[in-house]
Amino acid sequence: MPKVSVVTREKAHEVSRPAGYAGLADALAYYDDEKSPLHLHLHRIAPGEALRIGPMPTDCVAYVWHGAVEAGGWAMAKGSSLIVEHGETLEVTGGQEPAELLTFHAAQTPAEARAGGHVHLLPSERVPRLADLGGGSSVGGGMHADSGCPTCAVWLHENHFPGRAVPMTPEEEKRGIHSHSEDEIIFVIDGEIRLGNRLYGPGTAVAIAADTLYSFTTGPEGLSFINFRAGTPGDIQFANGMAISETGYWKDKQLTPEYVTPR
């Protein structure tokens, strides 16, 4: 896989009965080949239909992008998330309107996997969020999975950026060039992400290999995305030599998810 791979919804391909899922015949696969360290599928769930997640050899994180579902006896509205740890299963049922569920997981079992065997549910109203994370940028965010769980190490956070009518200057963009120590997937849930001279809208996934320097900016209508890693993030390394702890950054914001368990 290239160090940076962009897949729009139109470029995602239909797959029949992807491994690790049952109940629904088809899904849209963004990344599912052997060269992709992280896999991403989009499941379209009609009212009353059911998708079973697991059992898998790796932990799976799901995010309700559109509509609403029921899982483990809880109503999961748009913006909710859930974790199905390796070895466990969970049935997700469509609500009163069609729903779209994004699922992320590592392609390979990590060398030092945690215990697994649990399900964690995070209804949207329980997601810890801040409208402004500080620093004068007016960027908001929320935390779904912070790698702090004793039985799973997955990560999923969300960010919300204000619109920008005028693209950044080269000097401004240069300040934002950075890398992460883990493979990651950014998924645009609303607005537009600007990569170079191109704007990509909702339904775009960007897979970025570990230790790859990159930057992005927003479109005129703003940008909202979720960001998945299969393991605990290390430091964010900036091209100018600065480094910050990513887990430390979010802990300082006191955004710790408090999950509910299936009833």
Res 74 pLDDT > 90: yes
pLDDT at residue 1, as a whole number: 65
Residue 3 placed within a domain: no
Q: DSSP characters for 169-218?
A: PHHHHHHT-EE-SS-EEEEEEEEEEEETTEEE-TT-EEEE-TT--B--EE
* 190 in the same domain as 175: yes
User: Is pLDDT of 251 > 80?
Assistant: yes
Q: How confident is the model at residue 167 (pLDDT cuts 50, 70, 90)?
A: confident
Distance between the two ends of the chain, CA-based, in angstroms?
A: 40
Containing structural domain, residue 240? 129-252
Q: Is the pLDDT of residue 112 over 90?
A: no
The residue among 3, 24, 1 whose CA lies nearest residue 14 is 24
Q: Which of 93, 126, 159 is the last residue of a domain?
A: 126
* pLDDT exceeds cutoff 90 at 113: no
Residues 15 and 27 in one domain: yes
Q: What percent of the chain has pLDDT over 90?
A: 88
pLDDT interval class at 237 (50, 70, 90): very high
Residues 54 and 116 in one domain: yes
Same domain flag for 141 and 53: no
pLDDT per position as a tens digit, 28-58? 999 999 999 999 999 999 999 999 999 999 9
Q: Characterize 214-249 residue by residue with b for buried, 16 or more Cβ atoms within 10 angstroms of its Cβ, and e for exposed.
A: bbbbbbeeebbbbbbbbbebbbebbeeeeeeebeee
> How many residues can be counted in the chain?
263
CB 44 within 8 A of CB 30: no
Answer whether residue 263 is part of any domain. Answer: no
Q: 257 pLDDT exceeds 90? A: yes
The Cα–Cα gap between 66 and 238 comes to 34
pLDDT score recorded for residue 206: 98
**pLDDT computed for residue 82 by the predictor:** 98
Q: At residue 258, does pLDDT exceed 70?
A: yes
Q: Are residues 95 and 141 in the same domain?
A: no
143 in the same domain as 104 = no
What separation in angstroms does the CA of 187 have from each of 79, 208, 236? 13, 11, 19
Residue percentage of the chain with pLDDT more than 70 = 100
Domain shared by 110 and 136, yes or no: no
Q: Do 184 and 121 sit in the same domain of this protein?
A: no
Q: Which of 142, 169, 168, 170 is nearest to 156 (CA)?
A: 142
Q: Which two tokens stand for residue 69?
A: 């579902």
Backbone angles phi, psi at 100, to 5 degrees: -125, 125
